[in-house]
Copies of this chain bind each other. A is one copy, B any other.
């Protein structure tokens, strides 16, 4: 068994260690093995109890299960891991993939929208996905009801990727079990969570960042205000990707989310041609290879006061890490280390946009 993969899984599957913390630990300590050794000491310096590390046996069990399912791991920074996804600050350290991995090498566009979309919008989404597939684009969606289902169906012949919120072996919603199994054979399914994980509400935004992150752009087809599809659009925008939306009559409440997106700057989409026009120029810009772990391992900073200073600067409201570094007058490395220590001590919350807050006691 691959020892490094076991160590990575032990670290990542430990409660309280999310993608950003994981990334920081690997950056600091070079390997998952070294990070695992350092965690207890770091947490103590952060003033809290060390998290209970996931056992070696647990990690080995997961690896065996993934193998048995006919799936495989994709590790951030290695091999087939999606190039554009690796650019996200909170890129998943690993993905579990089942299906045609060749699809990851092709340009992709996300299509998302309402689960309870109108029949007309579903028809439009299916046609748009079909046309995008005909133009050589892989269509990525979330295997949910409504627009997601229509998008996968429209692009099944040409190539479609489904990103799911639960484990790779969990079928949600149940009526999409056959569709997901078909995509194991003729498309690709990706999951961030370990096998057997039932999807919960909090998992869907994580899933959405992967959908947005894999793709050069995201098309929203029909979306209510404050819906998950708009979160995906926001995540796409934050990642510097194209945001596109299909308009509708102001008299149709289901069009309001998309119309508002367009008012906010999303490109109005009427056809596959419009999508190509938006996404094509974005490809070269994203062509440079990414080095997600580019920082060299750094020795621990001996300055014990930094944790105290950083702690004083933090409050319950999220503050940008850059601001904490500036106000602390410490070196970026020392402040990042202090944040990592507070994090592992269970005393830090990390937020989108590289912000942090002190967790209420």
Shortest Cβ gap from A242 to chain B (Å): 14
Q: A221 CA to B340 CA in the complex, in Å?
A: 55
Interface pair B262/A124, CB less than 8 Å apart: no
Q: Which residues of B contact A263 (CB under 8 A)?
A: 267-268, 270, 274
A19 at the interface (CB under 8 A from B): no
Interface pair B250/A262, CB less than 8 Å apart: no
Chain B residue with Cβ nearest A270: B250
Q: A269 CA to B250 CA in the complex, in Å?
A: 8
Interface pair A250/B251, CB less than 8 Å apart: no
Contact with B along A65-88 (1 / 0, CB 8 A): 000000000000000000000000
A256 at the interface (CB under 8 A from B): yes
Q: Given A263-B267, A268-B262, check contact A249 B247 (CB 8 Å).
A: yes
Copies in the complex: 2
Interface pair B250/A250, CB less than 8 Å apart: no
Q: A217 CA to B310 CA in the complex, in Å?
A: 52
A292 at the interface (CB under 8 A from B): no
Q: A124 CA to B252 CA in the complex, in Å?
A: 11
Interface pair A247/B271, CB less than 8 Å apart: no
Chain B residue with Cβ nearest A252: B249
Contact with B along A254-284 (1 / 0, CB 8 A): 0110011011000111110010000000000
A248 at the interface (CB under 8 A from B): yes
Q: A262 CA to B266 CA in the complex, in Å?
A: 11
Interface pair B251/A124, CB less than 8 Å apart: yes
Interface pair A262/B249, CB less than 8 Å apart: no
Shortest Cβ gap from A219 to chain B (Å): 12
Per CB-CB distance, the 10 closest pairs between chain A and chain B, nearest first, are A247-B247, A250-B270, A263-B268, A262-B268, A248-B249, A259-B270, A120-B251, A259-B268, A124-B251, A247-B259
Residues of A within 8 A of B (CB): 120-121, 123-124, 246-252, 255-256, 259-260, 262-263, 267-271, 274
| Interface CB pairs A-B, < 8 A, 23 | A120-B249, A120-B251, A121-B249, A123-B251, A124-B250, A124-B251, A247-B247, A247-B248, A247-B249, A247-B259, A247-B262, A247-B268, A249-B255, A250-B269, A250-B271, A259-B268, A259-B270, A262-B262, A262-B268, A263-B267, A263-B268, A263-B270, A268-B268
Known contacts A247-B262, A248-B249; 12 additional CB pairs below 8 A are: A123-B251, A246-B249, A247-B248, A247-B249, A247-B255, A247-B259, A247-B268, A249-B249, A250-B271, A259-B268, A262-B268, A263-B267
